[in-house]
Amino acid sequence: MLKRSVVLVAHGSRREASNEEVYRLAQQLAALAGPMFAAVHCGFLEIASPSIPEALFNCIANGSREIIVLPYFLSQGRHVAEDIPAQIALVTAQHPDIKISIAPYLGSSPLIGTVLLSLLVG
């Protein structure tokens, strides 16, 4: 069976508490996914560590042969459309044998309206 991992990608912040929220979300996602994925890592576009390439290289070093990048972004701005794919391409060029794909970004989910409503009504 192909060893698959996830890299949850967020922007990154100078505020460490914000980055810690992303780490906690990755842990929650790993717990919910159970054995579906070998691991769920974080990668940050800028400011925080690890960078997206560092997170991908960590997955590869731990034996992952397939990596799914999950953009934790609300809209398909330049980061989602250009920057994340460009950083993935850097790793793919060095590891063409590793399958790296990009999942839809958070804001594209049809469930986002339900999530927002739940915040309003508790």
Decide if 86 contacts 18 (C-beta within 8 A): no
Whether the per-residue pLDDT at 40 is higher than 60: the answer is yes
**Residues in a beta bridge with 68:** 6, 101
Domain of residue 13 covers: 4-121
Residue 11 falls in the annotated catalytic set: yes
Q: What percent of the chain has pLDDT over 70?
A: 98
Whether the per-residue pLDDT at 1 is higher than 70: the answer is no
Quick one: pLDDT at residue 49? Answer: 96
Sequence-separated (6 or more) residues with CB below 8 Å from residue 66: 2, 3, 4, 5, 98, 99, 100, 101
CATH number at residue 111: 3.40.50.1400
Catalytic residue among 11, 41, 79, 95: 11
Span 63-74, pLDDT tens digits: 999 999 999 999
Sequence-separated (6 or more) residues with CB below 8 Å from residue 105: 71, 72, 73, 74, 75, 76, 80
pLDDT band at 102 (very low <50, low <70, confident <90, very high): very high
How many other C-beta atoms are found inside a 10 Å radius of the C-beta of residue 102?
Answer: 16
Quick one: pLDDT at residue 122? Answer: 80
Q: Which residue has the tokens 């717990």?
A: 31
Stated pTM of the model? 0.94
Sequence-separated (6 or more) residues with CB below 8 Å from residue 3: 38, 63, 64, 65, 66
Tell me how many domains the chain contains.
Answer: 1
Quick one: pLDDT at residue 35? Answer: 92
- Residue 92 tokens read as 């793919």
User: Average pLDDT for residues 76-83, to the nearest whole number?
Assistant: 96
- Per the prediction, the chain carries an average pLDDT of 96
